[in-house]
Amino acid sequence: MPVSKRMSTIPPSPIRKLVPFSDAAKKRGIKVYHINIGQPDVETPPKAFEVLRSFKEKVLSYAPSNGIPELREAMAGYFSGIGYDVNEKDIMVTNGGSEAIYFAFMVSLDTGDEVLIPEPYYANYNGFAKMAGVKIKPLTTTVENGFHLPSEEEMEEAVTENTRAILICSPNNPTGTVHTREDMEKVFRLAEDYNLTVIGDEVYNEFVYDGREHSSVMHFKENAQRVILIDSVSKRYSACGARIGAMITKNREFIDAAMVLAQARLCPPTIDQVLSVALYETGPDYLDEARREYKKRRDVVFEELGLIEGVTFHKPAGAFYTVVRLPIENAEDFARWLLESFSHEGETVMVAPASGFYATPGKGKNEIRIAYVLKEEDMRRSIQLLGLALEKYRNR
Residues 14-43 touching a second copy, rule: CB under 8 A, are: 16, 39-43
Among candidate residues 61, 27, 52, the one with its CA nearest the CA of residue 241: 52
Regarding 133 and contact with a second copy (CB under 8 A), the answer is yes
Binding mask 204-243 for a second copy (x = CB under 8 A): ---------------------xx-----------xxxxxx
Regarding 119 and contact with a second copy (CB under 8 A), the answer is no
Binding mask 368-387 for a second copy (x = CB under 8 A): --------------------
14, 67, 96, 176: which one contacts a second copy (CB under 8 A)?
A: 96
Regarding 111 and contact with a second copy (CB under 8 A), the answer is yes
Binding mask 159-198 for a second copy (x = CB under 8 A): -----x------------------------------x-x-
260, 292, 303, 391: which one contacts a second copy (CB under 8 A)?
A: 260
* Alpha-carbon dihedral sign for residues 24, 27, 28, 29: positive
Among candidate residues 209, 220, 289, 215, the one with its CA nearest the CA of residue 249: 220
* Burial label, 17 (beta-carbon count in 10 A; 0-12, 13-18, 19+): middle
Regarding 263 and contact with a second copy (CB under 8 A), the answer is yes
Closest distance between a second copy and the C-beta of residue 78, in Å? 18
Regarding 8 and contact with a second copy (CB under 8 A), the answer is yes
Q: Which of residues 274-293 bind a second copy (CB under 8 A)?
A: 275
As a whole number of angstroms, the longest Cα–Cα distance in the chain is: 64
**Minimum CB distance to a second copy smaller for 1 or for 309:** 1
Radius of gyration of the chain (CA): 21
What is the rounded distance in angstroms from the CA atom of residue 163 to the CA atom of residue 152?
16
At 185, which amino acid appears? E
**Minimum CB distance to a second copy smaller for 101 or for 178:** 101
**From the CB of residue 369, how many other CB atoms can be counted at a distance below 10 Å?**
27
What is the rounded distance in angstroms from the CA atom of residue 38 to the CA atom of residue 321?
8
Closest distance between a second copy and the C-beta of residue 238, in Å? 6
Regarding 69 and contact with a second copy (CB under 8 A), the answer is no
Regarding 253 and contact with a second copy (CB under 8 A), the answer is yes
Closest distance between a second copy and the C-beta of residue 334, in Å? 23
The DSSP-derived string for 251-290 is -HHHHHHHHHHHHHT--S-HHHHHHHHHHHT--HHHHHHH
Residue 374 CA: distances (Å) to CA of 205, 225, 277, 300, 324: 20, 39, 27, 11, 18
**Minimum CB distance to a second copy smaller for 28 or for 252:** 252
* Alpha-carbon dihedral sign for residues 166, 171, 174, 175: positive
77, 78, 87, 127: which one contacts a second copy (CB under 8 A)?
A: 127
